[in-house]
Amino acid sequence: IGSFPVDFEWSVSSESFKVEGGWAEHGKGETIWDRFSHEDRVFENQTTDLACDSYHKVDYDVYLLRGLMAPNYQFSVSWACIFPTGRKESLLEKAVAYYDKIIDTLLQSSIEPTVALHHWDLPQALQDAGGWENDSIVEAFKEFSDFCFSHYGDRVKTWITFGSPWVVSNLGYGTGEHPPSGKDPIIVTHNILKSHAEAWHIYNDNYRKLHGGKVGIALNSDWVEPRNPSSDQDVAAAERYLNFMLGWFAHPIFVDGDYPAMLKEQIEKKKDLCGKELARLPVFTEAEKQRIQGTTDFFGLNHHTSRLISESLNSSSDWIQSVPWGVRRLLNYISLEYTSITKVPIYITGNGMPTEYNGDVFSDTERVDYLKAYINEAMKTVHLDEIDIQRFTVQSLMDGFEGPQGYSQRFGLHYVNFEDPDRYANNGSHSLTAHICA
Ligand SMILES: *[C@@H]1O[C@H](CO)[C@@H](O)[C@H](O)[C@H]1NC(C)=O
Ligand SMILES: *[C@@H]1O[C@H](CO)[C@@H](O)[C@H](O)[C@H]1NC(C)=O
């Protein structure tokens, strides 16, 4: 039905540790993902060492973007690349120049850069001091974001403070599926929220007038439906799921500077149940609440799938199922709960699904259908529901290092041959490319 508004923004994405490689080059600092992969904790012991070799292929990556006619490219900077120890004293000029080159090359091709300050790859040196569990990291993140705004801000107009921070808290410091396998997701979320707010204030106070850009956060969330819609327990379970996945971050930022009441109650209940110091939700002071509330210029959403939730069954498979109508419901929910309070546009900052490549036949049909259907549902949300969505970002520009799954899950619009030491895409084209741009 119809088309998107003329000023609607299209983007494709990548993340530093998934594509850059060059992991120890020029004195770059180790990240927690370098460490994790070197400890043989990834599928087939694959590592971040070379990845897509984007560290040496700025021109080629931009050539791929031009081929897609992408008006915008969303990528993340690696903190450990710019500040190897995580602190500004360790500034690495060569790494700073690498991101200068990406940004300048993009702009020469009329492609707008969108930069994420943090997408999972914490400097190992900061992790050695406790990482996101140590509240002194708030100061370190302020320093890093201030540097990025001051150095790149004349050319970068859209900033994302954190990409999918729920994953950092819950997989990095909860289940341990991701590094650093820390212990306290509750404190981690607390420190990430404060870091986000401080970065936004730095931009707002010192750079907004000068550069006129936007700073927001990109939250990841599934949509959930109660398995039995007429069961009060299932409905409550679905609501809890959304509160723990999305509300934990979104409520403080978009609503009132504080955690959702339902989350507080649930954590208290769990504490009573377990009878130990398992969960202690930190309390924001009034000053902290004021400092956090409203610190965003857009609602960034990373979304991949929907799930059925019941009282007894808390989460089904992790696999990404195609449920296109779920994105429309989620966008309506976000509008109702969050962007009707802090009035900012929604940016879809990541949507896509992987193909598993069995080394033989490569079929993208399912992914093509997935993207078409999700994009169509986003359009319905714009036109029929009149929700202010201004951007859609397809994840990803190319296949890359997908965390514990290594290179076995392919999200790329471009295929990457990881057997090829040069890492150039096969013939530079890929079936999806043609379909999406048609
Ligand atoms: C991965 O590394 C471990 C040692 O850490 C080794 O036992 C295992 O065979 C390796 N697996 C593969 C697929 O290379
Ligand atoms: C927290 O970070 C500070 C500053 O880096 C450090 O001095 C301190 O030892 C860290 N605390 C822990 C428990 O690692």
Atom of ligand 1 nearest to the CA of 44: 13
The set of protein residues with a Cβ atom below 6 angstroms from ligand 2 is 129-130, 134, 136
Query: What integer best gives the mean pLDDT of the chain?
Result: 92
Within a domain: 3: no
Atom of ligand 2 nearest to the CA of 129: 14
Question: In whole angstroms, what is the distance from residue 217 CA to residue 164 CA?
Answer: 8
Do the Cβ atoms of 357 and 410 come closer than 8 Å? yes
Q: What is the mean pLDDT of residues 57-80?
A: 97
Token reading at 308: 């059925």
Q: What is the pLDDT of residue 428?
A: 41
Q: What is the pLDDT of residue 250?
A: 98
Atom of ligand 1 nearest to the CA of 45: 1
Do the Cβ atoms of 328 and 381 come closer than 8 Å? yes
Which numbered ligand comes closest to the C-alpha of 191? 2
Number of domains in the chain: 1
pTM of the model: 0.95
Q: What is the pLDDT of residue 287?
A: 98
Q: What is the mean pLDDT of residues 405-428?
A: 83
- Determine how β-strand 9-13 pairs with β-strand 306-309: unpaired
Within a domain: 275: yes
* CATH number, residue 412: 3.20.20.80
Pocket test for ligand 1, best of 35, 43, 44, 45 (most atoms within 8 A of CB): 45
Within a domain: 322: yes
Domain of residue 190 covers 9-434
Among 167-176, 261-270, 402-411, whose mean pLDDT is lowest?
261-270
Q: What is the pLDDT of residue 430?
A: 41
217: three-class secondary structure by DSSP: strand
Residue nearest to atom 5 of ligand 1 (CA): 40
Among 140-149, 273-282, 349-358, whose mean pLDDT is lowest?
273-282
Q: What is the mean pLDDT of residues 168-180?
A: 96
**Ligand 2 centroid to 154 CA: how many Å?**
34
Residue nearest to atom 8 of ligand 2 (CA): 129
Atom of ligand 2 nearest to the CA of 126: 5
Pocket test for ligand 2, best of 83, 122, 132, 134 (most atoms within 8 A of CB): 134
The answer, yes or no, to whether residue 114 has pLDDT greater than 80, is yes
Q: What is the pLDDT of residue 243?
A: 96
Per-residue pLDDT band for 50 (boundaries 50, 70, 90) equals very high
Within a domain: 235: yes
Question: In whole angstroms, what is the distance from residue 299 CA to residue 104 CA?
Answer: 27
**Ligand 1 centroid to 45 CA: how many Å?**
6
Q: What is the pLDDT of residue 58?
A: 97
Query: Could you give the angle at the alpha carbon of 191 between the alpha carbons of 265 and 302, nearest 5°?
Result: 80
Atom of ligand 2 nearest to the CA of 140: 5
Query: Could you give the angle at the alpha carbon of 174 between the alpha carbons of 279 and 327, nearest 5°?
Result: 105
**Ligand 1 centroid to 319 CA: how many Å?**
25
Residues 326-344 have pLDDT tens digits of 999 999 999 999 999 999 9
Within a domain: 4: no
